[in-house]
Structure 1
Amino acid sequence: MPAASPLRAAVEVLPAESELNTAAWFTVADTETVLPGHYPGFPIFPGVCLVECARQGAEATRPDDAKGTRLAAVESTRFTGPVFPGDRIDIAMAWKRTPAGDWQVRAKLTTGRGPAAGVRLRYATTATTGEAAAA
């Protein structure tokens, strides 16, 4: 089942430097449904939406060896700057294998004003996440 998303538009993939260093972008339209209630009169793109941008970017660019994985954890987030309607968010992602055999992606999200967030996600096989045992 596909994940539900608070974003109206989709994250767009950019040409990758390599299979392990990928990139994407998202423009925050003033029609995003999350904006009117998030600081009325002074809309700011919510942090959860930045995490969603990282998730969409990661899932659209995951390495071939990670194709059968699912999101297992949001390991960390750090919000470092506001994102406003009209901002373009650039998402730079670095993938690596963990010692446990999972995949970790570190996403750095920036706008024209500078850093906006850092998000670290972990992707695992269904066997690692326990879904295979439950089936």
Structure 2
Amino acid sequence: MTAAPRVHVSPVAAEVRVEARTEDGLTAAARADIRHSEPVFAGHYPDFPIFPGVCVLECVQRAATDGDTAPDPTELAAVESARFAGAVYPGDTLRLTLKWRRTGTSLRCDATAATERGRAATVRLRYACAGGAR
């Protein structure tokens, strides 16, 4: 029996775009425009919508695994930490900064997410490298 291909399902409708990446691939900048039409706003504080923290994490994950952003082909192994420092509202632009480093046979992605009001979150993700460390 052949395994079905993985399909990525996301609660975030916004496009997460990587806008810059260093030549060595260890730092990247991305953005997501959080529109009023995001489906999660319908049920997350309907009279005062706030973009859920799990959706901020999803934006970081999508930026980290978008095309050539990661230094090696990777698979998310763990969310090592996430600290939320400020709310993300409809109409905000979420700016993401990602910094990669090798840790043994894995890669760690340290990321910050910010809006025009300041830092929204700091996130540390660990990825398993395809085929081990290089």
Identity of aligned residues (%): 45
User: What pairs up with 1:1-135 in 2 under 5 angstroms?
Assistant: 1-18=6-23, 19-60=25-66, 61-63=69-71, 66-67=72-73, 69-98=74-103, 100-125=104-129
Q: CA offsets, 1:88-121, max 9 Å, x none? A: 00000000000x3200001100000000001111
Specify every segment of 5 or more residues in structure 1 that has no aligned partner in the other structure, as ranges: 129-135
Q: Report the CA distance between 1:126 and its aligned residue.
A: 5.6
- Compute the displacement of 1:16 (Å): 1.4
Runs of 4+ in 1 over 3 A off after TM superposition: 125-128
2:117 is aligned with what amino acid?
R
Higher helix share: 1
How many residues align structurally?
124
TM-score, normalised relative to structure 2: 0.87
Q: Secondary structure at the match of 2:39?
A: coil
Q: Distance in 2 between matches of 1:29 and 1:36?
A: 12
Structure 2 residue runs without a partner (length 5+): 1-5
1:39 alignment partner AA: Y
